[in-house]
Structure 1
Amino acid sequence: MGAATTSTSKPTGLLGQRSAVGCLLGVWLLSVVTQGYIIVPASVLPIISTEFAIPSSTAVLVVSATPGAWALTNFAFGVGIDTFGDVASIIAAVFTVVGAALLSWWAGSNQFFWLLILARIIAGAGIGIIWTASANVVGQIFTTDTRGTALGVFTTSAPAGFALGQIVTPAIAQGYSWAATFLVVAAGSLLALGLFWISLWNVELRDRESAENVFQNFWEVLGSRPVRFGCAMAFAAYSLYLFMNSWMPTYLAENFEVSLALGGLLSALFPAVGIVSRAGGGYVSDRALGQRRLPVLRASFLVALPVTVLVAYATSVRLIAVLLIVAGFVIQLTFGIVYSYVQESVPPDMSGTALSLLGTAGVAGAFSAPLVAGALIRVTDAYATAFGYAVAIAVFGLGLAWFGPESGT
């Protein structure tokens, strides 16, 4: 089995394509579990710092290692996806993540910091494959009038996984050990893989183009202006997303004297609202805007900019909670949209390469933002400069969305 293909007589409407919806649910559940692995350490960074006797700015490497590996390996493995097919790539990647999760549990339980980093790097490569191959399947099995909505729904798996990780990890840490969360990830990944396999029974798949064609298509994909703009906007959006997700629990604990459990719960508001906004952005773009993508992207960054400033200056935990809901909603409007934006700008046989480039750019932002913020906090001994960096990223994203070309041009 390889990439999904569109049929010649698909029913219109998202729910009218039942087989495709079943497959969407399968990859969504698989992505929820594996995306949750990425954020597991963020809500317990103070515990990790204490157990390993390292500062928070070093401990945050545990968070950044996974998206960093995703960013560095995504294009190379994207070529592999185009060569071996989506399903085979997903299966191999899931077993890789399961092995890495077990190693993460052992290294975390026995306080082997650099072995934990290595395990998180290995998992990052596998999670990148799962995400890219799954997005490619979803983007091709739905018709043009529902693609934005379907990809928006798929990308809600990330905030669902992040929110679950932010909530569950402190609870497990309190009752058992924070590292035990990795065992939950391993078991959940295997269960989700089984459900995904069942969902494939009624979905028609076709073979991939040859690897030779994939390499030849690379420069054509890179030459597309919407692809370049889409990748840059993904970098900005994911930078804002991971900055908030990785540092807010520690920021709240250090500046507002809230517990890690409460800090994790409040921080979970940020990704959780993406479950609505990611799908909603795609639906609005498909139905109200006639498949135009840029208006949603512009609105996202336009609102995210002042909200990020307000979070930095807020002195009330309740106000921050409200602002995190707003910020999480508007920032995540971009995620489903940008996948449609890029995929619609290249021929179908180049979509794997295009989405791999997009994933590399987006996860590069996810990898770099926590590290840059940590370095700024360490040097200045204050969070103001870290928030300043986030504001600059929001300005950058707004400029791209404002002057970028519409998809397909």
Structure 2
Amino acid sequence: MATRTGSSVSTASFTDQRSAIGCLIGAWLLSVVTQGYIIVPASVLPIITSEFSVSSSTAVWIVSATPGAWAVTNFLLGAGIDRYGDVTATVAATFTVAGASILSWWAGANGLFWLLLVARVIAGAGIGVIWTASANVVGQVFTHDTRGTALGLFTTSAPAGFALAQIVTPIVARSHAWAATFLIVALCAVAALAVFGVSLRFVQRQPRETSETAIQNFSQVLQSRPVRFGCVLAFAAYSLYLFMNSWMPTYLSQNFSISLGLSGLLASLFPAVGVVSRAGGGYLSDRVLGRRRLPVIKVSFLVALPVVLLIARTSSVRLIALLLVVSGFVIQLTFGVVYTYVQESVDLDVSGTALSLLGTAGVSGAFSAPLVAGVLIDTTETYTSAFAYAAGIAVVGLVLAWFAPES
């Protein structure tokens, strides 16, 4: 944040803080809506398999297409964010997502599987830009002492959006066609963009220079060891996160003989608790650990490993609800911290490129994990192998966190 001098230091600083908080709120709301779009089909996957007459492993592509497009396009679009600016990129991406959401509704309502898949690919590219550019803005308007907390709070938008979508979609499916949820996303995305735009009028952001070429940006970013480690850590964390979010509703309904509505509600516990843990991870890193980021990441993977294995073994609905809360909390501790870890490792003028590369790595895990799990489940006709895969990802994350350098 900008600092002031003279007799108005106290008042100006307070004003700057309020402006920064307003910016955080606007970015958070926009991200809640667009992140919710990603997981909309997961809570009604059995309905989708029936309506489109496809297998579960094929239907899950509807979930994975969006993070997959994010992963493929974000590292390229990140250079564009650095060149054209975070705000311009956010506006263009929001209208892209709104249009793709309307197309998703029309395709879903008319049983057009491949058109729905295309629409969700388009939306995925836009959502990646919104997430990266918004995180970049939030990281710029807060000081080094509070940046970890602010970015941790911003990343709570993803679990809030996921939890909201997991709850709302089955409700919409009961009273209307499930695809009508996409219309809600389109309307709310435009409204949230308006809130974000108003908040930006009162924010002072740090000046930045523009690199001449995208190649220079990537070259500079990839020279940073924390960026390289952060990308792999993000891949592992997001793999665990999307594995749990995409398959838990179906796993619960098939193995515990409960309704889709109840399974969706239970599954929503996993992302919902991230509202607390993502902000808590950043706060612990800033205030308790002296802005050290890696201890939080180590604890995240260390606790996640046994909890994931316990979820695979329990047969109690009450116990699995508790384990979903614990796993959702520890897995999501990483997210805000790893964004801060990477952003602090590079110059401001290439921070968009660094965060987009991190997003590409993380969302690659989000894209691949549901698909790998689906193949394992279809091949072995059991969820045991899928949970073993998730446990292996947790081991990789834990080992890398132990050897990563501090930013």
Separation of aligned partners in 2, 1:105 and 1:231? 33
How far does the alpha carbon of each residue in 1:206-245 deviate from its partner, in whole angstroms, 9 at most, with x for none?
6653351543131121121100110000000000000000
Deviation of residue 16 (structure 1)? 7.1
TM-score, scaled to structure 1: 0.96
Match of 1:68 in 2: 68
Asked if structure 1 preserves the Cα contact closer than 8 Å seen for 2:3 and 2:13, the reply is no
Match of 1:163 in 2: 163
Separation of aligned partners in 2, 1:262 and 1:30? 28
Asked if structure 1 preserves the Cα contact closer than 8 Å seen for 2:211 and 2:217, the reply is no
Separation of aligned partners in 2, 1:95 and 1:316? 44
Asked if residue 101 in structure 1 is aligned to residue 96 in structure 2, the reply is no
Point out where structure 1 has 5 or more consecutive residues left out of the alignment.
1-5
Match of 1:258 in 2: 258
Deviation of residue 403 (structure 1)? 1.1
Asked if residue 8 in structure 1 is aligned to residue 3 in structure 2, the reply is yes
1:46 maps to amino acid: P
Asked if structure 1 preserves the Cα contact closer than 8 Å seen for 2:211 and 2:349, the reply is no
- Spell out the pairing of 1:185-200 with structure 2 (5 A cutoff): 185-200=185-200
Asked if residue 120 in structure 1 is aligned to residue 120 in structure 2, the reply is yes
Asked if structure 2 preserves the Cα contact closer than 8 Å seen for 1:14 and 1:21, the reply is no
Asked if structure 2 preserves the Cα contact closer than 8 Å seen for 1:13 and 1:146, the reply is no
2:354 maps to amino acid: A
Separation of aligned partners in 1, 2:306 and 2:161? 27
Deviation of residue 320 (structure 1)? 0.5
2:349 maps to amino acid: D
Separation of aligned partners in 1, 2:181 and 2:102? 10
Question: Matched residue of 1:287: which SS?
Answer: helix
Question: Matched residue of 1:101: which SS?
Answer: helix
Match of 1:3 in 2: none
1:247 maps to amino acid: W
TM-score, scaled to structure 2: 0.96
Separation of aligned partners in 2, 1:225 and 1:56? 39
Deviation beyond 2 Å, 4+ runs, structure 1: 8-16, 204-211
Deviation of residue 204 (structure 1)? 2.2
- Spell out the pairing of 1:288-303 with structure 2 (5 A cutoff): 288-303=288-303
Asked if structure 1 preserves the Cα contact closer than 8 Å seen for 2:211 and 2:350, the reply is no
How far does the alpha carbon of each residue in 1:121-168 deviate from its partner, in whole angstroms, 9 at most, with x for none?
000000000000000001111000000000000000000000000000
2:60 maps to amino acid: V
Match of 2:176 in 1: 176
Separation of aligned partners in 2, 1:150 and 1:36? 21
- Spell out the pairing of 1:334-353 with structure 2 (5 A cutoff): 334-353=334-353
Question: Matched residue of 1:202: which SS?
Answer: coil
Asked if residue 29 in structure 1 is aligned to residue 24 in structure 2, the reply is no
Separation of aligned partners in 2, 1:74 and 1:185? 21
Asked if structure 2 preserves the Cα contact closer than 8 Å seen for 1:85 and 1:208, the reply is no
1:7 maps to amino acid: A
Match of 2:311 in 1: 311
- Spell out the pairing of 1:1-400 with structure 2 (5 A cutoff): 6-9=1-4, 17-205=17-205, 209-212=209-212, 214-400=214-400
Percent of residue pairs identical: 70
Point out where structure 2 has 5 or more consecutive residues left out of the alignment.
none
2:47 maps to amino acid: I
RMSD over aligned Cα, in angstroms? 1.5
Separation of aligned partners in 1, 2:208 and 2:100? 28
